[in-house]
Amino acid sequence: MKATDLLERQHKKVKALFKKLESGRSDPVPLLKELADDLIAHMVIEHELLYPAAAAVDHSLVAEAFEEHALGELALKRLLQTNPEDESFEARVVAAKELIEHHVKEEEEELFPKLEKKLGSEKLEELGKQMKVRFAEVREAGFESLLSKVFSKTLADADKKTALKRPKRAA
């Protein structure tokens, strides 16, 4: 499966989880864990595998994606720290969902078409295989293994330094 197809499938699952959370008809605790596990694993495979490849295609879109991940991660942390009975819970679900949906729209409408054109199917298939394996590893470890309890630094802050290294210019 191509990397872009894998990510779009994951986007759909996250959207469905947000919809279930918003409906209030299901126990929010297991839904939140599933959402956090999926989102963190998704961010990790983008940080480690997709964005380094994509930076050469559109550096500015990748830089923006890292910032959106940082904001999404902060929204997720706040949501995870909120009691579902608290009056702010619903608002935090909506805010996190809207941040993620904005990010997904930009990836699917702007970044992915550029990747399809520049990288081609063969490279995206290989990347997709790597991403699927890494996603399963991170998902199995659970979001707690990577999501910091503090708000000062996000996964995106740490991973951006490596993925967005600009090549040194010749003198």
pLDDT 10s digits, 89-139: 999 999 999 999 999 999 999 999 999 999 999 999 999 999 999 999 999
Q: Are the C-beta atoms of residues 111 and 8 closer than 8 Å to each other?
A: no
User: What pTM value is reported for the model?
Assistant: 0.86
In this predicted model, what pLDDT tens digit does every residue of 52-103 receive, in sequence order?
A: 999 999 999 999 999 999 999 999 998 998 899 988 899 999 999 999 999 9
End-to-end CA distance of the chain: 41
Domains of the chain, residue spans? 3-163
Confidence band, pLDDT 50/70/90 cuts, at residue 24: confident
Residue 165 gets the label, from left (phi > 0), alpha (psi -120 to 50) or beta, of beta
Give the pLDDT score at 144: 87
Give the pLDDT score at 151: 53
Give the pLDDT score at 147: 75
> What single letter denotes the amino acid at residue 25?
R
Rounded Cα distance between 140 and 142, Å, is 5
Confidence band, pLDDT 50/70/90 cuts, at residue 153: low
Cα–Cα distance list, 101 to 64, 73, 74, 95, 165 (Å): 14, 13, 15, 10, 27
- Residue whose entry in the numeric block shows the structure tokens 């994509």: 54
Q: Are the C-beta atoms of residues 58 and 111 closer than 8 Å to each other?
A: yes
